[in-house]
Chain A
Amino acid sequence: MASSPPPFCEKAMTRNRALRRTLVLLGMATLPLIVPVGAQQFSDRAKKIGFQLKCMCGSCSMTAAGCSHPGGEFSGPCPTAKGMLQEADQHVAKGETDEQIVQAFAQEFGTTVYAEPPKSGFSLVAWAMPTVYLVLGALVVIFVISRWVKKNASETTASAVAAPPIAPELLERARKLAERATED
């Protein structure tokens, strides 16, 4: 036989339910007051283009789609970047290509809007530099190493001529000892 809950418990549950409902209603009612900056959803294409554009708020160097600088909202772009994404969405709605949209932003804000230098004109220097450093550095390292190897080879030959020859059995013994030592 199922026993009915005691009156105290029932009262407490009713009070909890009422409290929860009040809290939810209070929460929903105060939401617009507490979070004045509205969150907005943008299309995937606008976000993709946003990663090619720098946030032009002036206080950060993040991309429009990845902007999360202090003062902005952690979960999304700051108001400036949001405006840029909204603008990107307007261009998308007009049927423009990604390149055209980025160019439109470059005309509006200048070349500072690029998140990465374009692969044309003077900007190509920025892309070429790391490869140039690597190739030049590798050439220098290879040159230095081969000079050390040559120097060592010539010194070894000179000392071999000067020094008396080592007995083959002694050499073999030394080799075995070295092998055993390096094995450990």
Chain B
Amino acid sequence: MMKVWNVWLVFCTFLLCMLGTFLTRSGVVSSVHAFAQSNIGPWFVAFMGITLAVCLGAYLKNRDYLASENQLDSVISRESSFLFNNLLFLVACVAVLSGTLFPVFSEWFTGNRISVGAPYFNRVNIPIGLLILFLTGVGPLLAWRKTSRESLKRNFGWPVLIGLLAGGVAFALGFRAYYSLASLILCVFVAATILLEFYRGSRVIRARSGASFAACAIDLTMRNTRRYGGYIIHMGMVFVFLGLAGTAFNRDVQKSMQVGDSMQIGPYTLVLQATDSKPEKNYTAQRMMVEVLRGNHPMMMLFPEKRNFLTNKENGTMVAIYSTLKEDLYVVFAGIDPDTQQPVIHAYLNPLVKWIWFGGVTVVFGTLIALLPNRRSVLVLAPAQQPSTVEPVPHGVVASPILREGHD
């Protein structure tokens, strides 16, 4: 199904990679990666033309093999969710592409180059990202070809309720950033659908084997690694979105401090205890010794520093980081206040950052699981045990085989 569509997605992905490289390298859009004054542009265009011709040729040559039967019983089916998922990814891709090229278009049409920066891309892609997250939860629970109303109720009733409940609690606790709130509700919804899937499958195995839930969940995963590996990948994406939802609550404080001064950021108090200079082989580091207290309890010392590289006379900034599952605290020695000649400490408190990393690791883990072959039940032949009381079988008669369940 959808073979032509898939093949063209592959072709377009490669072509767009080339286009992206061309746009940044040729200087069509401003980029730090642009080659200075080079004639690489025409070469890139020619290469992209050849690539497009090869793609078209490959498609036309194999058109008959790519013909497939596309049939659906209902709009609410897993195939439809695939198509909508593809649509959302494509819209995100084309929105970024047209936003990137908008300065060029605006110059053509109006004579003025209107720049498009990160705030535009964030504003456009956050709703698309949330819709993709929604489909992450919905898609895998829809049946192939057609999903009945009963199945929808059974699969989504609890997850929707739990998601809304989590949203209600967060709202009551003062969570007002609406994109983050929507992200939280969807994260809980998707996580609930995934956990429910594991629970249902494990329960069936447990009823037969009597093993623990954890053992049954592992057994379930190993029986269909692509499906349950996929769920683990989805869970990883939930963690990533959870981390991204935290960005709405990022905060930072900058203060000119002398030794003994303190500043407050969130629950942390930062006290500048001392400064020192640390000469190294190729640079000299100016180091701040910042004590971190929570409440009145000392937690740790952080050492943000600035390095002055002697040869090229450039400064490097070394950020001191305290990272937990709840939040990341970055402490930076920002420089010297020209008015007071005192060091300036810049502190950032970014919630849930670690979840983004954890999500990435989970996605990799899920991918590895999905790559494993399924553990399938197979029938193997094993000789029957000879009962000790039974007389020996006469010579020439073979023990009758019985069927046993095993695994390949």
- Binding partners A and B: yes
The chain A residues found within 8 Å of chain B, CB to CB, are 20, 23-24, 26-28, 30-32, 34-41, 51-52, 54, 58-63, 66, 69-71, 73-76, 110-118, 121-123, 125-126, 129-130, 133-134, 137-138, 141-142, 144-146, 148-149, 151-152, 155, 182-184
Closest to A118 in B: B114
Which of A28, A69, A122, A142 is within 8 Å of B106, CB to CB?
A122
Cβ of A112: which chain B residues have Cβ within 8 Å of it? 103, 113-115
Cβ of B276: which chain A residues have Cβ within 8 Å of it? 23-24, 26-27
CB distance from A75 to the nearest CB of B (A): 4
A111, B336: Cβ atoms closer than 8 Å: no
A148, B70: Cβ atoms closer than 8 Å: yes
Interface with A: B37-45, B189-197, B341-349, which one? B341-349
B317, A75: Cβ atoms closer than 8 Å: yes
Cβ of B72: which chain A residues have Cβ within 8 Å of it? 145, 148-149, 152
Which of A54, A66, A74 is within 8 Å of B317, CB to CB?
A74
A66 to B250 alpha-carbon distance, docked (Å): 13
A75, B346: Cβ atoms closer than 8 Å: yes
A75, B73: Cβ atoms closer than 8 Å: no
Cβ of B119: which chain A residues have Cβ within 8 Å of it? 51-52, 63, 115-116
Cβ of A59: which chain B residues have Cβ within 8 Å of it? 32
* Contact A117-B120, Cβ < 8 Å, known A37-B315, A74-B319: yes
B367 within 8 A of A: no
B343, A183: Cβ atoms closer than 8 Å: no
Which of B32, B94, B306 is within 8 Å of A60, CB to CB?
B32
B115, A133: Cβ atoms closer than 8 Å: no
A55 to B41 alpha-carbon distance, docked (Å): 27
A73 to B332 alpha-carbon distance, docked (Å): 10
* Contact A116-B346, Cβ < 8 Å, known A74-B332, A133-B94, A138-B87: no
A71 to B75 alpha-carbon distance, docked (Å): 54
Which of B83, B109, B308, B332 is within 8 Å of A145, CB to CB?
B83
Residues of B contacting A: mostly: mixed
Cβ of A111: which chain B residues have Cβ within 8 Å of it? 106, 112-115
Instruction: Tell me the total A-B contact number using a CB cutoff of 8 A.
Output: 197
Which of A27, A58, A116, A148 is within 8 Å of B286, CB to CB?
A27
The chain B residues found within 8 Å of chain A, CB to CB, are 30-32, 70-75, 79-80, 83-84, 87, 90-91, 94-95, 98-99, 102-103, 105-106, 109-110, 112-120, 123-124, 128, 143, 204, 254-256, 259, 274-277, 284, 286-287, 306, 308, 314-315, 317, 319, 332-338, 341, 343-344, 346
- 10 A-B residue contacts at CB 8 Å? A31-B341, A59-B32, A61-B118, A63-B117, A110-B113, A117-B102, A125-B102, A126-B106, A129-B98, A130-B95
A141, B116: Cβ atoms closer than 8 Å: no
Extra contacts, 12 of them, besides A35-B306, A75-B335, A152-B73 (Cβ < 8 A), are: A28-B259, A30-B286, A35-B336, A38-B338, A111-B114, A112-B114, A114-B114, A114-B117, A117-B116, A125-B102, A130-B95, A133-B94
Cβ of B71: which chain A residues have Cβ within 8 Å of it? 148, 151-152, 155
Cβ of A71: which chain B residues have Cβ within 8 Å of it? 314
Cβ of B90: which chain A residues have Cβ within 8 Å of it? 133, 137
Interface centre among A26, A34, A183 (most CB of B within 10 A): A34
A134, B91: Cβ atoms closer than 8 Å: yes
A59 to B102 alpha-carbon distance, docked (Å): 19
Closest to A27 in B: B275
A31, B336: Cβ atoms closer than 8 Å: yes
The 4 closest A-B pairs by CB, nearest first: A39-B335, A75-B332, A38-B338, A116-B120
